[in-house]
Amino acid sequence: MSKLESNGANGSSKQFHAPSRHAPTPGKATVLALGKAFPSQLIPQDCLVEGYIRDTKCVDVAIKEKLERLCKTTTVKTRYTVMSKEILDKYPELATEGSATIRQRLEIANPAVVQMALEASLSCIKEWGRPVEDITHIVYVSSSEIRLPGGDLYLASKLGLRNDVGRVMLYFLGCYGGVTGLRVAKDIAENNPGSRVLLTTSETTILGFRPPNKARPYDLVGAALFGDGAAAVIVGSKPKPGQETPFMELNYAVQQFLPDTHNVIDGRLSEEGINFKLGRDLPQKIDENIEEFCKKLMAKASLKDFNELFWAVHPGGPAILNKLESTLKLGSDKLECSRRALMDYGNVSSNTIFYVMENMREELKKKKEEEREEWGLALAFGPGITFEGILMRSL
């Protein structure tokens, strides 16, 4: 397994101790630190097509041309991947159509996912600045590993957490898993005074890697869009002055599913790995329901104007962001943090919302006091169709 990187472009271990502009609402959970990590294999989008066609031994010119078009429309520029030449040399059957390879995929994915989660967590804990013994709960999110015990236990052991740490494992939620994790961490923090929750998400595309097949057109979309990585945050209420620096309040959270849309995002695990099908109507379904969902969150703070908020939206793809921007009549800069995360990392499933939040933290710091938005929304969409949303407050 190639060494993981968690600093510089791949981490968030800087300590932030600027004073908060707003005091946290008493009893509400806050985000106290953030970290991220990636595999060391960086793939520029310009190089992806040649590599993928070579690795899968594809000789179909039409498939190659379609992948080239998709790579341009996704707006992705770079991505990180666990998959490497060394892995394909060891497991050539991963690039062979119809091979029963779930055992091999899990041999690769299970340790890789925990290693990335470890790197992201260490980066996050370093920024937080308190000892690991002060972590009381762990929420572990992944759609990329399968085993008992799960990665939550392996991660807790590798970090040296207390053996009475409260563990929650959220498996196979897909792209909305990061915001679900925030909602669960918020509930734990607010209902257990003094608790500090480590939330970590970690994903790899190993389970879905396969050669292109005209019968599975979405495989090419996945090859052009998805990447690997991990993220971590520390969540707690009543931050300790001088020891902790909260930068975001998790004020109110809502999860909602859209009835009769469970087939729009369809993921199936088989002997060959995981296979996804996306309905072409996914952006439209989100578009038809998103305004009402956002208004439900905003009502908690008597907010009316979409453009007075900051927006941390999971970038499932450019079509979803474009629809959201158009429907809510958002200013052209409102989804910039989401677009930049998509460009830099691709869609990294549950992790991506935290890359957006990190971009947002930096953007809010740059703004003049009178230009900084106090309130914002974190949004993610995934199988169900499920909406996850959190009304956030910049501190």
Closest C-alpha among 366, 388, 363, 367 to residue 378: 388
Q: Answer yes or no: 175 catalytic.
A: yes
Under DSSP, the state recorded for 19 is P
Under DSSP, the state recorded for 133 is G
The one catalytic residue among 71, 124, 175, 337: 175
CB-side neighbour CA atoms (13 Å) of 379 = 27
The residue type found at 354 is F
Instruction: Name 30's bridge partners.
Output: 236, 249
Q: What is the DSSP string of 184-234?
A: HHHHHHHHSTT--EEEEEEE-SGGG-----TT-THHHHHHHHB--EEEEEE
The residue type found at 6 is S
Helices (H), 26-176: 45-55, 61-73, 85-90, 102-128, 151-159
C-alpha distance from residue 118 to each of 2, 221, 341, 395 (Å): 14, 29, 21, 27
Phi, psi (deg, nearest 5) at residue 260: 60, 30
Under 8 Å between Cβ of 14 and 358: no
| Rounded Cα gap, residues 198 and 31, in angstroms | 10
- Helices 45-55 & 61-73 angle (0-180, nearest 10): 150
User: Catalytic site residues?
Assistant: 175
